[in-house]
Amino acid sequence: MSTSLTQIRDDLYQTRRDSPFPGLTTHAYLWRRPAGNVLFYSPVGDADFDAIAELGGVSAQYLSHLDEAGPNLARIAARFDRRLHAPAAELEVIAEHHHVDVPLEAVRHVDVNDVEVLPTPGHSPGSTCYLVTGAGGDRYLFTGDTIFPAGDGTWSTFVVPGRGDPAAIRDSIKLLGTVEPDIVISSAFAGPTPIEAVDAARWSEIVDQALASVPS
């Protein structure tokens, strides 16, 4: 099989590193499951499409917020005919790039793909995190840009001037503090990796670090 994807767990794969513009680094993630593979976030180009196809393609794609929308959404749909899930609050902007099949309202729930949808506004009005249980029982938390590694061993957040909401993101980070992930995976990030395996103590520390980074 192609080696362009990095296997993180038995059922979790990372696409190649993308840099959409200077200072921003991203990956997307394929969660492989018998009922249909799920793609979290969005690769910038099509370089990994063949490798993804070899793993069974994509039946559903989840965007955490509008910054992940771009021209590649149409190319993903053309290749894999997947259903696009994205925050309803950002539907107009995302739909400029591709039709959203499943608008996600700001209500915490577990959907038909066994994805727990966690509304976490603040970085953007519709920012959403996703929690799933992998094949080995580990819980994967996809945080988008709500929290991310800052590159110095800490995790942080970013309130976009004129768009973000410090009070909302503070509440969102506190909500994340109530879940119990085993692996935390951001979208954009600084440093070598957007992934960290955590225990309860480390997760509490990360939440505190992110809260401390919220502007007053």
pLDDT digits (tens, 9 = 90+) for 157-198: 988 888 889 999 999 999 999 999 999 999 988 777 899 999
CA distance 15 to 117: 22
Summarize pLDDT for 11-33 with one digit per residue, the tens: 999 999 887 666 678 899 999 99
CB 159 within 8 A of CB 122: yes
Instruction: Name which of 70-74, 118-122, 172-176, 189-193 the model is least confident about.
Output: 189-193
- 197 neighbors 183 (Cβ within 8 angstroms): yes
177 class by beta-carbon count within 10 Å (0-12 exposed, 13-18 middle, 19+ buried): middle
Mean of the pLDDT values across residues 31-56? 96
Alpha-carbon distances, residue 97 vs 14, 75, 119, 164 (angstroms): 23, 10, 22, 22
Q: How many Cβ atoms are within 10 Å of 107's Cβ, its own excluded? A: 8
Q: Which of 180, 57, 59, 184 is nearest to 111 (CA)?
A: 59
Using pLDDT thresholds of 50, 70 and 90, give the confidence band for residue 2: very low
